[in-house]
């Protein structure tokens, strides 16, 4: 995921309201980076999530350039698999045997920043050479099919998701007139793990300076380096193993602190969005 490297700091589910027949313009829009709702919508207001969809995006840059998604990966795991983590013969954690995966590459219209291209290994030229379309109606329909296979309610899980993945996905879906079901909730593992560590240290400063990037967390928990860092699928693989390492705590955190998708603001709005006329 780009931000981690560059930043300083019920019923089955389906997408609704898809205007996939007409792709909205890509002209530069209006930033909503200061409009994020900081309060949490807790799971006490809805049934607990049955499926957790681990998500990572690779995109053309940081929020300041109003990026577009270039790669999207999702792993869908049922709650029961997270409550009962699997291990290999040596006792090491392994991914659940039963999970659904979706990974898509897409060619954005906006150019990659040099740093984003360096980190992700993606470029507009490479994606165009492979004849990849952009984030369009076909992507929305593919997401709809993928999510509709999962037992709901769904909790989306991303690392630094509240500041990057969720607002950017929301912006891309909004451009096409699509949205997620209202009972969808979101968990950001970055503040969740920080909060859990603060609770364990009883509010005192932890010894040393602990990093909370995916790579730092993976090394702390597994004494190894993650594979395929800064590919969307590689980062989701790493995120899921990190979640499994502290599954009981993170599931409890999600039940109490997950934020409703309806309260996620898009990272930016397309210039013709009706809400700009208010």
* Contact between 255 and 46 (Cβ < 8 Å): no
Q: Output the six-digit token pair for 227.
A: 């594979």
- How far separated are the first and last CA of the chain, in Å rounded? 34
Please pick, among 230, 237, 245, 263, the residue that the annotation labels catalytic.
Answer: 230
E strands along the chain, which residues? Answer: 30-31, 51-59, 69-78, 86-87, 93-94, 100-105, 154-158, 185-188, 259-260, 268-269
Residues 6+ apart with CB under 8 A from 156: 53, 55, 166, 184, 185, 186, 187, 261
Q: Is 136 left (phi over 0), alpha (psi -120 to 50) or beta?
A: beta
Q: 3-class SS at 54?
A: strand
Tokens of 183: 């009972």
**Is 230 labeled as catalytic in the residue annotation?**
yes
Residue closest to 135 by CA, chosen among 62, 64, 57 = 57
Structure tokens at 94: 């392994």
The C-alpha atoms of residue 81 and residue 95 are separated, in whole angstroms, by 9
Which residues are the active-site residues? 230
């Amino acid at each position: 995921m780009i931000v981690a490297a560059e930043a300083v700091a019920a019923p089955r589910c389906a997408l609704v309201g898809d205007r996939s027949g007409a792709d909205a313009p890509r002209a530069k829009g209006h930033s909503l980076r200061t409009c994020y709702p900081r309060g949490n919508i807790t799971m006490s207001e809805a049934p607990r999530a049955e499926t957790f969809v681990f998500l990572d995006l690779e995109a053309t840059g940081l929020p300041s350039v109003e990026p577009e998604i270039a790669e999207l990966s999702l792993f869908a795991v049922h709650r029961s698999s997270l409550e009962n983590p699997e291990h290999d013969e040596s006792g090491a954690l392994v991914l659940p045997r039963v999970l659904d995966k979706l990974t898509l590459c897409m060619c954005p219209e906006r150019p990659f920043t040099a740093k984003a291209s360096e980190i992700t290994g993606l470029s507009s030229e490479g994606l165009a050479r492979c004849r990849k379309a952009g984030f369009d109606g076909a992507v929305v329909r593919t997401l709809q099919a993928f999510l509709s296979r999962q037992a709901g309610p769904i909790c989306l899980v991303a690392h630094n998701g509240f500041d990057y993945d969720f607002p950017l996905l929301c912006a891309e879906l909004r451009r096409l007139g699509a949205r997620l079901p209202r009972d969808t909730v979101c968990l950001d593992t970055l503040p969740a793990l920080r909060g859990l560590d603060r609770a364990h240290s009883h509010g005192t400063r932890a010894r040393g300076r602990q990093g909370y990037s995916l790579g730092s967390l993976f090394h702390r928990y597994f004494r190894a380096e993650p594979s395929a860092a800064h590919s969307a699928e590689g980062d989701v693989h790493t995120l899921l193993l990190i979640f499994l390492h502290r599954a009981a705590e993170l599931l409890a955190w999600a039940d109490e602190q997950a934020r409703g998708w309806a309260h996620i603001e898009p990272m930016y709005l397309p210039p013709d969005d009706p809400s700009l006329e208010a």
